[in-house]
Each structure stands twice: as C-alpha cells, then as structure tokens.
DNA sequence: CGCGAGCTTGACGTTGTTCAACTAGAGTGG
DNA sequence: CCACTCTAGTTGAACAACGTCAAGCTCGCG
C-alpha cells in the first residue's frame, strides 16, 4: 500500500493489521475527476465505495428534471456508504464541483473490513450516524424554514463546515446553491442580493464573505 | 433471558452466544406506554436504545412550536439507534401513537454487542442504511412535491409499509398527518376531503380505505 | 465574432398558510 | 344533570410567499 493511501485513510484504518492493509491495496483504485464530472449516477450499480481525498463533491437526487443537493462532501468523507448492505444500487448521484481526487474501494472489501475489524465497524457506524443527524437538520431547514432561513443555513454550513473560513470562493453556481436549498435559482439570487444589500454578507461573483454571523444565525432560527 | 425477549429480538440476536444473551437480559427493561405518552424527548440523554415490540411510535423533531414527524416506527424496529456513538443526546422526540410495548436496552450494551459480534454490527449497519434511504425518499417528497403528492406518499406509506392493508385505521390525527407531510392541519384536511370526493380513498374519521393505488401513485409521481 | 451558459431583474400567477369562526364529542366539577 | 372547557375536525376568505415566465445581460470559449 503506497504512502499516499496510508496517509489519506489514516484516521480510518489505523487499527488494521498488515493482511488487511494489503488487501485494501489490492482492491483500491485512485482516480481524478475534473470539475463537473460525474462520479456516480443515481440508479447505477453501487459496486464501489468512494473515499474523497481532495476537492469537493455534491451528492444529489434527481427528480422530474429537478435536482436536490443532499450533501456537499469534503475530503475525508465517504460517498456511497449508505449503499452498503442494501440492494446495491446508488440512490443518488455524485458530481465533482471542483477538481477532485478519490480512492475507489470495492464494496465487498468494505464489508470484509467491517466483519473483520470491530474498531472499523464502529467508526463506520459513528460516521453513518453523524451523517443522519446532519440530514435531520437539513430536513428541518428545507421543510420548516422560509427562503431567507434556508440560504442563511447554507451560508453558515459552507463557512463553518466546508471551507472553515469567513471568506471563501463557494464554487457552487447559483443554481447549485438553489438546489442545495430546495428553491428556484431566481429566488436564491434574490435572497443573496438582499443579504448583500443588508450587509449580512459580501458577495462578488462566487466569492463570499460573511459580515455578520449573528444576523445569519438569527435568520436561521426564525426560519 | 425470558422467551418473550428472545422471540422479539430473534431476527437480531440469533447469532449471539450464551454469554452475550445473558448480558442482554441483565441490561434490558420491558416497558409499556399508553397512546400519547412520550418515550424520549429531543435534547434528553440517549442512554438507552429502544426496541419496539408492539404498537406504533412517531419520531419527530420539534422546531419553533411546530413538529415534523420524521418517521413512523413499527414493531421490530429500533428507536434511538442514530444516537449511538454520538454526543449521547437524542436529536428527536418519540411519542406513542398507540399503546406500545418496548424493550429498553442500555446504549453501552449495544456498543458491546457491536464490538463483539460482527454479524450484529453488520445488521445494524444494514438497518441504518435502510433508514437513510427512507429518509432520502422523504426529503424528496417533502421538498419537491406539492400537497397532493405528499399526502399521496403518506397514504401509500401507511398502507404498504405500516399497516400492510388497503383498509386500516390510521390512528394518526389530522394534525399528525399534517406534521408527517410538513403542511398545515387545514391543508391536510382539505386534500383528504378532495381525495375522498374524487374517490381515490374512502375516509370515515380515522378509517381509511384505498380505492385506487394507481391514482395515488400518479399523484405521487407528478408531485 | 457569435454562441451558450450562468446570472439578473421585473411582472404575474399559483400554492399554501394564516386567521377566524363554527361544530361535535369527551371529560370535569358544581 | 347541566354548564364549561378542551381538543379534534372543518370551512371560507384574505393574504403572503414563492415559482414561473420572459427578457436582457455578461463572459468565456470555439
């Protein structure tokens, strides 16, 4: 197993023995995706689990020509874990929103690790549960809040979870942002402009700077 | 371990050895809840995992005086699994919508089983993933469909997944149904009445009979 | 230079919520 | 036994929130 792989997986695989590490090395492929390229398609075979090491990926559901972005995946996270032990079909699509590097691991390999290494299994469960908690928050945001609250949630998430900075290039198009917030592109644009005019954030193209976290949080709360 | 417990858990625990079974018996309590009683409260300590053996339970998020029912749990399912390996706080509430019987199991006990029995761990992962897939469907229903589609989804779910019959007493109040569909009580009532008038379902109080699955599916698809 | 994709804006219509009022049944206490 | 109250269910009308449509704009790329 080469050092890159070892480094990337470190937090996940530091309890594996040599036999297990060797087995991974044999069942893993490293891939690059350009911005805009599709990693996996809703309905396709989920024969592999993807581990993101660089870049940014959106996971989205396609429904009647409209997409909803379920999650934005950053390096260090898996894509397709939720298809493990299921019917083996992806129930969402994944596309790169920045040049990305991934390791693609055989699904059976993951199952092998889970059944042979209980530490690993526990980490996977913890990871799945953290995801679920995140999805619950998103369900609330998307169903109980109005446009302003949803955009505020999205900006807070991008700033705190994804880019970890108050100033960032969000990479997402307005349409992506709209699909992340479950609204029309036009609405997303309008709210973004309002936030800019009200000096809650500073926006220039895709560059975004948060001016007042306090106001964003307030908007997030009142819905 | 008494036979009731053994029978109830059978599909989950059939791979456990005697030591493990004994340990469960020591760390498990059987409880009854009346219709309307609360099993666990959002924000409370998630020290126990609940296994439902009889009745029906709603899992819901409270947000600014409004509730959203995330899931309706039927016998044979766990409540609170998603709090395992997390910060130990329930991120949702659970309330009985019919007289219910449960086994309450220590969370550490579950972790013990997961780390000592890989079959069990794999079943848990499979269960969590099945849940996640279900949540994705719900996110789409709640965010991409209009009122009619959402009510249609709810009725189809109740009929096929929960009660497994075309004729059932849904137990849910109109308000519950509305909270399950993320809409106002008034809207739920109006759509229900429309469906009744259009002979898609037959409704008398809480008794519901599906007349045309075809129409319901059509409504579900067009949104 | 022209073309398409992303972005922006305003006008308009629809969907769904809110509010207010009214009904019926179930429980409670005088 | 009869007010009284509480909750669930129901209905209509007014209103607000959002999506849709149409038009125009800019910028990068072939």
Q: What is the full DSSP assignment across A21-34?
A: HHHHHHTEEEEEE-
pLDDT (mean) for A129-133: 96
Confidence of residue A3 (pLDDT cuts 50, 70, 90): low
Distance between CA atoms of B183 and A96, rounded to whole angstroms? 34
Q: Mind listing the pLDDT tens digit for each residue in A67-88?
A: 999 999 999 999 999 999 988 8
Beta bridge partners of B28: B105
pLDDT (mean) for A43-48: 91
B contact test, residue of A88, A116, A139, A141 with most B CBs within 10 A: A139
Give the nearest partner residue to B66 out of A116, A129, A144, using CB atoms: A144
The whole-number pLDDT of residue A12 equals 78
Confidence of residue A207 (pLDDT cuts 50, 70, 90): very high
For chain B, what is the radius of gyration of the CA atoms? Answer: 19
Q: Which strands make up the sheet holding A207-210, listed edge to edge?
A: A167-169, A207-210, A201-204
Tens digit of pLDDT at every position of chain B (223 positions):
455 665 666 677 777 888 888 888 888 899 999 999 999 999 999 999 999 999 999 999 999 889 999 999 999 999 999 999 988 899 999 999 999 999 999 999 999 999 999 999 999 999 999 999 999 999 999 999 999 999 999 999 999 999 999 999 999 999 999 999 999 999 999 999 999 999 999 999 999 999 999 999 999 998 8
Q: How would DSSP label each residue in A11-72?
A: HHHTT--HHHHHHHHHTEEEEEE-TT-EEE-TTSB--EEEEEEEEEEEEEEEETTEEEEEEE
A206 has a pLDDT exceeding 90? yes
The whole-number pLDDT of residue A6 equals 58
Q: Mind listing the pLDDT tens digit for each residue in B157-198?
A: 999 999 999 999 999 999 999 999 999 999 999 999 999 999
Q: What percent of chain A has pLDDT over 70?
A: 96
Domains of chain A: 3-118 (2.60.120.10), 145-222 (1.10.10.10)
Confirm if A53 and A6 have CB atoms less than 8 A apart: no
Q: Which residues in A have their CB inside 8 Å of a CB on B?
A: 61, 63-64, 66, 68, 70, 81-86, 91-92, 111, 114-116, 118-119, 121-122, 124-126, 128-133, 135-136, 138-140, 142-144, 182, 221-223
Protein contacts on strand C: list nucleotides below 7 Å from a Cβ: 6-11, 15-20
pLDDT (mean) for A99-116: 93
**CB neighbour list of residue A67: distance below 8 Å, 6 or more residues apart:** A60, A61, A179
């Amino acid at each position: 197993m080469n050092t890159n792989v070892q480094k990337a997986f470190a937090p996940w695989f530091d309890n594996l023995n040599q036999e297990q590490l060797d087995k991974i090395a044999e069942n893993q492929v490293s891939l690059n995706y350009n911005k805009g390229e599709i990693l996996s398609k809703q309905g396709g075979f989920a024969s592999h689990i993807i581990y993101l090491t660089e870049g940014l990926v959106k996971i989205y559901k396609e429904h009647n020509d409209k997409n909803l972005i379920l999650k934005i995946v950053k390096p260090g996270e898996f894509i397709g874990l939720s298809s493990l032990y299921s019917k083996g079909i992806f129930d969402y699509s994944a596309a790169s929103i920045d040049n990305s590097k991934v390791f693609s691991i055989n699904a059976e390999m993951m199952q092998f690790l889970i059944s042979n290494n209980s530490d690993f299994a526990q980490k996977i469960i913890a990871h799945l549960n953290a995801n679920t908690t995140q999805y619950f928050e998103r369900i609330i945001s998307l169903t109980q809040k109005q446009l302003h609250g949803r955009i505020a949630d999205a900006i807070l998430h991008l700033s705190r979870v994804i880019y970890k900075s108050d100033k960032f290039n969000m990479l997402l198009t307005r349409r992506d942002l709209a699909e992340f917030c479950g609204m029309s592109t036009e609405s997303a644009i309008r709210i973004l402009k309002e936030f800019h005019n009200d000096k809650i954030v500073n926006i220039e193209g895709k560059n975004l700077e948060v001016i007042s976290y306090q106001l964003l949080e307030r908007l997030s709360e009142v819905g």
